[in-house]
A and B are shown apart, each in its own frame.
Chain A
């Protein structure tokens, strides 16, 4: 089962490697990991997308909690939540492809943020499935480069991950 784990961690050097080291040392799976400071600069928030049986996910959250610098851990995929990922995709855009790509981008509510004679950079946010669908909708030979941020997640409504 796929799970999205969010955590708050002290913004110290080496904190990221404690988390990633834990996953590799114990053989847990990381699909994506994103991290950035929060509104409180002393803390970072991490979103980890992982998969495993219930027992493994339970161990993952316990082991994460055990790291001295981890302040809080929540499996946000246990209840209603929102996931978003950012993708930047550079595509070859010449001739009739230029219009076609523009149309597809509009349909996906993506934005073209860089334009040259021969290429576009398209910016798209959404959940993973939407990003995958957009990539699927573009002729593969036109794709020059893609970069994805990994998933950011947040609980819906009252569910707040805060100190």
Chain B
């Protein structure tokens, strides 16, 4: 069947069973939008800024097991998308971005709305393509989806010049694709897995440390089974939350800069550390030299060989799909007779319980002023711990991660790697579209929300009943916290004056806005939002304590055990 390039692109998206494309039209993609208009399978979500299109596609992907798709025009459309692409890249999220480009003959002529999109995005994509021939469109899009979701996932961009979208050719979508230069390892090395199981069984002070890889590989079930089989303590990184049920006794909370005392102490003093789909990030282990001081054996399972032995030396590397490797470990454990040494384990747990007894997450609540942690705890109560929670970046992100206890994967969406302010609302849009019946809450701050607040308009158009919990402290809270601790309380440009009345702003967009000033009103406001206004977007503007800091805290460059547990330690 002979089709135009534009029709072929849309047909490819249909073949990939794409439900939603998040995008924004423009000159270079007019034919693509014309082709979109003439079909019904692929629905288009019109955002108000291209950055939000990519974030929403990314949020859609994070909350499902599917590839998110964004469509932007050339030039500024593409450059606006870059922050979204880099955000997805840093967290290994599978998305495909289709960008328009000026006609082939105009490339390199400094044409109107021309930028070198492939060049600009090269360092922040898993791969990108410039399509120069209409006959290459179908195979390129097939490759893009394949690359995005296999191996270590990531964003893939396909740049399509305008003339290619009107050129015609025969359309056939390839059923399969193989690339001689790209063969991600799936199954882990049997010998290495055997060695790992052996080492785990011999451990006196074992610890399991897991990251976003467990979520991406949909291996939460395997992780839970293995952890329970062994009876070992487990921690999930910021990206890995929900990988193991937070309510379980074996769960020690999140590790790292704002992690729990018990998780960090166990990470540091364990004798065998099983790292699964995690990358020993600077926000997780602090100073690597300090971390290396304590002798321990490290087993590291990761799909990406370059993540292994990058920041810490690993004793038993296992390259492979986390799910496959964990399955094999469980199989070997169950087949063998050996079990962990109960006596050593009991001693180790006794130590851990002592650390846990410090109750590092305690905070002083107030009757007068709303504590941000209290809002997150109440949100958890009101939603029964079942909401999909998105966050922006800063203090509220850490409080959300610390106090909303995630029982399942793909319920917690945040920008962990790049730390992009402004992701919260578009993430919630992607998640709500993917899960129309789910409770979706966006925990944000008055600074972050303003970075993509125009999307309130998109939410109205697509009737997305997101609940925005704005922890409004009139400060760039995390910046203020660092200035307080490291810069002599000189609050350089971290205070924001002239904030809008968010409740009225939400109303202006056609939503419900509620301002909450008193702690005693927090729960009622949340119940109203999720009850009476269940089917509407509600903007809850919580006026919270301006001076509250995130604790515990490991200062940058310090070791994991050198923690500030509360304001008294300052």
The answer to whether A69 touches B181, judged by C-beta atoms less than 8 angstroms apart, is: yes
Q: Within the complex, which residue of B122, B123, B130, B306 is in contact with A66, where a contact is CB–CB below 8 Å?
A: B306
**Is A63 close to B, CB under 8 A?**
yes
Expressed in whole angstroms, the Cα–Cα distance for A65 and B119 within the complex equals 20
Expressed in whole angstroms, the Cα–Cα distance for A69 and B527 within the complex equals 53
Instruction: Name the residue in A17, A68, A69 with the highest tally of chain B Cβ atoms < 10 Å from its Cβ.
Output: A68
Evaluate whether A10 and B181 lie within 8 angstroms (CB atoms) in the complex, with A18-B122, A21-B122, A21-B123 already known.
yes
**Is B26 close to A, CB under 8 A?**
no
**Is B364 close to A, CB under 8 A?**
no
Nearest residue (CB) in A for B125 is: A68
The answer to whether B123 touches A25, judged by C-beta atoms less than 8 angstroms apart, is: yes
Nearest residue (CB) in A for B306 is: A62
Q: Within the complex, which residue of A9, A55, A68 is in contact with B127, where a contact is CB–CB below 8 Å?
A: A68
Nearest residue (CB) in B for A8 is: B181
Interface residues of A, count at CB 8 A: 20
Nearest residue (CB) in A for B126 is: A68
Contacts of B147 in A (CB 8 A): 68
Evaluate whether A58 and B309 lie within 8 angstroms (CB atoms) in the complex, with A66-B304, A68-B181 already known.
yes
Nearest residue (CB) in B for A72 is: B181
Nearest residue (CB) in B for A14 is: B118
User: Chain B interface mostly helix, strand, loop or mixed?
Assistant: mixed
Contacts of B180 in A (CB 8 A): 71, 163
Contacts of A58 in B (CB 8 A): 309
- Looking at the assembled complex, report how far the CB atom of B120 sits from the nearest CB atom of chain A, in whole angstroms: 11
- What band does the interface of chain B fall in when counting residues whose beta carbon is under 8 Å from A? 10 to 19
Nearest residue (CB) in A for B143 is: A68
- Looking at the assembled complex, report how far the CB atom of B326 sits from the nearest CB atom of chain A, in whole angstroms: 23
Contacts of B305 in A (CB 8 A): 62, 65-66
Expressed in whole angstroms, the Cα–Cα distance for A106 and B179 within the complex equals 49
**Is B310 close to A, CB under 8 A?**
yes
Expressed in whole angstroms, the Cα–Cα distance for A9 and B182 within the complex equals 11
Number of A-B contacts defined by CB within 8 Å: 37
Expressed in whole angstroms, the Cα–Cα distance for A70 and B123 within the complex equals 15
**Is A104 close to B, CB under 8 A?**
no
Contacts of A17 in B (CB 8 A): 119, 122
**Is A38 close to B, CB under 8 A?**
no
- Looking at the assembled complex, report how far the CB atom of A148 sits from the nearest CB atom of chain B, in whole angstroms: 28
**Is A59 close to B, CB under 8 A?**
yes
B98-122 interface bits toward A, Cβ cutoff 8 Å, 1 = contact, 0 = none: 0000000000000000000011001
Contacts of B118 in A (CB 8 A): 14
Q: Which residues 12-62 of A have a CB within 8 angstroms of B?
A: 13-14, 17-18, 21, 25, 55, 58-59, 62
Expressed in whole angstroms, the Cα–Cα distance for A69 and B119 within the complex equals 15
Contacts of A25 in B (CB 8 A): 123
B511-531 interface bits toward A, Cβ cutoff 8 Å, 1 = contact, 0 = none: 000000000000000000000
- Looking at the assembled complex, report how far the CB atom of A41 sits from the nearest CB atom of chain B, in whole angstroms: 15
Expressed in whole angstroms, the Cα–Cα distance for A163 and B183 within the complex equals 13
Nearest residue (CB) in B for A68 is: B127
- Looking at the assembled complex, report how far the CB atom of B451 sits from the nearest CB atom of chain A, in whole angstroms: 26
- Looking at the assembled complex, report how far the CB atom of A35 sits from the nearest CB atom of chain B, in whole angstroms: 15
Contacts of B306 in A (CB 8 A): 59, 62-63, 65-66
Q: Which residues 43-101 of A have a CB within 8 angstroms of B?
A: 55, 58-59, 62-63, 65-66, 68-71
Expressed in whole angstroms, the Cα–Cα distance for A59 and B147 within the complex equals 22
- Looking at the assembled complex, report how far the CB atom of B125 sits from the nearest CB atom of chain A, in whole angstroms: 10
Expressed in whole angstroms, the Cα–Cα distance for A25 and B306 within the complex equals 15
A110-144 interface bits toward B, Cβ cutoff 8 Å, 1 = contact, 0 = none: 00000000000000000000000000000000000
Nearest residue (CB) in A for B132 is: A13
Contacts of B179 in A (CB 8 A): 68
Contacts of B127 in A (CB 8 A): 68-69
The answer to whether B304 touches A70, judged by C-beta atoms less than 8 angstroms apart, is: no
- Looking at the assembled complex, report how far the CB atom of A66 sits from the nearest CB atom of chain B, in whole angstroms: 5
Contacts of B130 in A (CB 8 A): 13-14
Expressed in whole angstroms, the Cα–Cα distance for A58 and B314 within the complex equals 13
B172-187 interface bits toward A, Cβ cutoff 8 Å, 1 = contact, 0 = none: 0000000111100000
12 A-B residue contacts at CB 8 Å? Answer: A10-B181, A18-B122, A55-B309, A58-B309, A59-B310, A62-B306, A66-B304, A66-B305, A66-B306, A68-B179, A69-B127, A71-B181
A-B pairs, 6 with minimum CB distance: A62-B306, A68-B127, A71-B181, A62-B305, A25-B123, A68-B182
11 further A-B pairs in the complex, CB-CB below 8 A; given A14-B118, A17-B122, A21-B122:
A10-B181, A17-B119, A25-B123, A59-B306, A62-B306, A63-B306, A65-B306, A66-B305, A68-B127, A69-B181, A163-B180
Chain B residues within 8 Å of A, Cβ to Cβ: 118-119, 122-123, 126-127, 130, 147, 179-182, 304-306, 309-310
Chain A residues within 8 Å of B, Cβ to Cβ: 9-10, 13-14, 17-18, 21, 25, 55, 58-59, 62-63, 65-66, 68-71, 163
